[in-house]
Every structure is written in structure tokens, then in C-alpha cells.
Amino acid sequence: MAYVQGGRCPKSCGNYTSNGFLKMACNGGLNQMRVAICYMVIVARLLNLTLVVPDLDKRSFWADPSNFEDIFDARHFIDSLRDEVRIVKRLP
């Protein structure tokens, strides 16, 4: 689901204006979630969207209450992709 709203990238991205936000929820097993996150990064890059750290589905596959930050290093995720796509932890 994309939320269209203007956004500015940090100084590391230069003069960057976003076409909106891309927010999604990942479901399935850990590998399916990882693949969905990779696709989400690609779509955000191609459409010039600001990516919102994804929500992990807690009901449809495994009843695990973990959040993105519990499984992945969110700071590293954001920092490692900073030259490719802007990523925020939540919608402003």
C-alpha cells in the first residue's frame, strides 16, 4: 500500500524529493518475509518512494509476536541503503 505524500531525504541523498511512501506488511515464513522486503526496496527505488520499515504479519503463518526490529537490525538496514532509497521507521 503506498501513501502519496512529499518527503525529503537526509543530506546523504543529496537533493531528493520522494513521490510518497511505501508501507507494507510481510507474511509467511522468515525467507518469504526476507524476499518481500527485497522486493519492497526495489519497488521503492524504481518509483522514487520513501520506504517505511515493514510490519511483520503476526497471525497468518506463525503466531510470533516479533517485530521487524526483533529479527533484523533496523539501523543497519536503514544505513546500508541510505544511498539507494530513503527509509523511515514509521509514517510521519
State how far the alpha carbon of 40 is from the alpha carbons of 14, 15, 46, 90, in Å. 22, 22, 10, 15
Its pTM stands at 0.74
- R_g of the chain computed on alpha carbons: 13
The pLDDT assigned to 92 comes to 85
Q: For residues 60 and 31, what is the distance between their CA atoms, to the nearest angstrom?
A: 15
Summarize pLDDT for 23-71 with one digit per residue, the tens: 988 888 888 888 999 999 999 999 999 999 988 877 776 677 788 888 8
Q: What is the dihedral of CA 58, 28, 44, 39, to 10 degrees?
A: 160
Summarize pLDDT for 6-25 with one digit per residue, the tens: 444 444 455 568 899 999 88
Q: Are the C-beta atoms of residues 6 and 18 closer than 8 Å to each other?
A: yes
